[in-house]
Amino acid sequence: MTSAEVARVREIQAAATAADGLSPLSEQPLLSLGAPSGRVRHLLGYAAERLTGYAQLDGPTGPDASAELVVDPAARRQGTGRALLDAVFEAAPEARLWAHGRLPAAEALATSAGLAAVRELHKMARPLGAADLAPAASALPEGFTARAFEPGRDEQAWLATNAAAFAHHPEQGRLTLADLEERMAQPWFDAAGFILVEADATVLDAAGISPIGGIAAPRVAAFHWTKVDPEQRSSVDPAQTAGEVYVVGVHPAYQGRGLGRPVTALGLAHLAGLGLPEVVLYVDGDNQAAIRTYTGLGFRSIMVDVMYAQAV
């Protein structure tokens, strides 16, 4: 796309966000707006020679392909959304389409196109307070220590643990060094809020995963990457920013060792220490174990994103 087209899509995105109270495009499509067409496919919708809609198709042509779209609120109900949707499925018949927030217009478009809901992503939130700063809540098991991510040192170690922790996750598990560096270049990135948990040699030996045959055991056992983006508004007070549990992961070799809850608490303590009023996170609707864990930590569901696919 040209720089003018990218700027116009950002205008449409901002207008739709203001009209609907939520962003129609998630983080990855926004990061990929300026990407060359070989990486993602950019589909543009016009009305009277004016750009009024945009869709982005990411991934191969099979079921791993996903798309998101946005239409200028001033040009809705004029067929642009359906035209973009048809273009997406013409390019990738098995693609999955994300719709954020279960808006009636998005549901109506999906129904009219014969699409079926195949996945849900829950946005959950809870208040932050003084209790989140209590050291006991984030105390790690013996043999584990926490520290901040160090750019230039920890990229490959984190990528390895992330890939192992999310081996079956369609988006998170396939992050590359370029993806990581792209996020580190964003204004919201703060290494102090990117918390790594490392295991000492005693834990490695006890777990039976000491280096064997020259293969080093993973030193990063778990992590909690937090995010503070001014565009993430608090659901309690929209004038304030909410922190985000961006991603929490535990390497499979260390699962069952009691790391999940304290690692989560470490990130919450960091966000509470910044004086933020609320924290949000996103979790798959079919991950009932995680939803129960987060509910037990005081989170509640405040929004649901839906993924649609062509009905079989």
Q: 58: how many CB neighbours lie within 10 A of its CB? A: 19
Measure the N-to-C terminal CA separation of the chain; round to a whole number of Å: 33
pLDDT the model gives residue 208: 54
Chain segment 51-64, per-residue pLDDT in tens:
999 999 997 777 77
Q: Taking the C-alpha atoms of 70, 242, 161 and 190 in order, what is their torsion angle to the nearest 10 degrees? A: 100
Q: Is the pLDDT of residue 25 over 90?
A: yes
- Strand-pair category, 96-99 with 300-310: antiparallel
* Domain regions of the chain by residue span: 3-113, 124-303
Contact between 119 and 305 (Cβ < 8 Å) = no
- The CATH class of 124-303 is alpha beta
Chain segment 137-186, per-residue pLDDT in tens:
899 999 999 999 999 999 999 999 999 999 887 678 789 999 999 999 99
Q: Is the pLDDT of residue 211 over 70?
A: no
Q: Give dist(CA 69, CA 227) in Å, integer.
A: 24
Percentage of the chain surpassing pLDDT 90? 68
DSSP states of 97-108? EEESS--HHHHH
For residues 259-269, give the mean pLDDT: 94
Q: Where are the alpha helices (DSSP H) in the chain?
A: 3-20, 27-31, 80-91, 104-112, 155-165, 177-184, 201-206, 260-273, 288-296
pLDDT-based confidence at 249, cuts 50/70/90?
very high
For residues 65-72, give the mean pLDDT: 94
For residues 257-282, give the mean pLDDT: 95
Q: Is the pLDDT of residue 209 over 60?
A: no
pLDDT the model gives residue 215: 34
CATH topology of domain 3-113: Aminopeptidase (3.40.630)
Q: Is the pLDDT of residue 248 over 50?
A: yes
Domains 3-113 and 124-303 are alike in CATH topology: yes
| Greatest alpha-carbon span in the chain | 69
Residue 202, token pair as written in the block: 């005693």
More confident residue, 279 or 102: 279
pLDDT the model gives residue 126: 96
